[in-house]
Every structure is written in C-alpha cells, then in structure tokens.
C-alpha cells in the first residue's frame, strides 16, 4: 500500500505550528529551537543484514550449475566408474522429504 508522505509532513508541520502558537515564554523558544528544519530519515543496517547481503552477492556471482563437477560425473558415467551408493541415496532422499514436510507445515 502506497503512503503519501507529503500529506504526513504537512500534518506534522501544522501540528508544530499549532503547538508553537499555544506555547508562551521559554516554551516558545524551546519549541522554535526544536522545530527547525526537519531532520532526514535514516536507516541502520544490522551486521546480520550486511552479512546476508554479502552472501547474496556471492551467490549471485556463482553459476547455478557446477559445470566442472557435471563434466567429471559425465566422464565417470561414460567410463563406468560412477557408482551409486544406495544407502547414501536413501539417506539423502529421506532428508529431502523431511525438509519438504517441514516447509509444508509452515
């Protein structure tokens, strides 16, 4: 949803002028001092967000597929050296299914 910040600033400035008009003596001077030019917004990025941004940048620069590993596996299949470990495959499939079921619960 879009937010019109111009109207927000107008309303805030109107409130400040109203407050200034109602104040007297030392209060008026203090309000005028505090209501000078509006300060700009600021954003603080946490160290975790900075680290995440760095990881995302690294990931974006990596190819989706490790071409070298694919070529090695293809060559091993051609030469008959590629063997599938059925127990390791079963463990990996079970782990994958477990992760999928956890995602579906959320």
Domain boundaries of the chain, sorted by first residue = 65-106
Identify the CA nearest to 13 among candidates 31, 38, 30, 34.
38
Look at the block and give the residue holding tokens 């590993």: 69
Handedness of CA 94, 96, 99, 103 (dihedral sign): negative
pLDDT tens digits, 62-76: 878 888 999 999 999
pLDDT surpassing 90 at residue 88: yes
Query: In this predicted model, what pLDDT tens digit does every residue of 23-73 receive, in sequence order?
Result: 444 455 555 555 566 678 888 889 999 999 988 988 888 878 888 999 999
pLDDT at 24: 47
- Residue 11 pLDDT greater than 60, yes or no: no
Whether the model pTM is above 0.85: no
């Amino acid at each position: 949803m879009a937010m019109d910040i111009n109207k927000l600033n107008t309303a805030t400035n109107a409130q400040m002028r109203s407050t200034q008009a109602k104040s007297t003596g030392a209060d008026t001077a203090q309000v005028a001092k505090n209501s000078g030019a509006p300060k700009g917004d600021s954003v603080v990025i946490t160290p975790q967000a900075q680290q995440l941004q760095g990881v995302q940048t690294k990931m974006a620069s990596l190819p989706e597929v490790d071409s070298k590993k694919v070529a090695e596996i293809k060559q091993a299949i051609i030469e008959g050296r590629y063997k599938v470990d059925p127990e390791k495959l079963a463990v990996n499939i079970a782990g994958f299914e477990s992760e999928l079921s956890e995602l579906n619960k959320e």
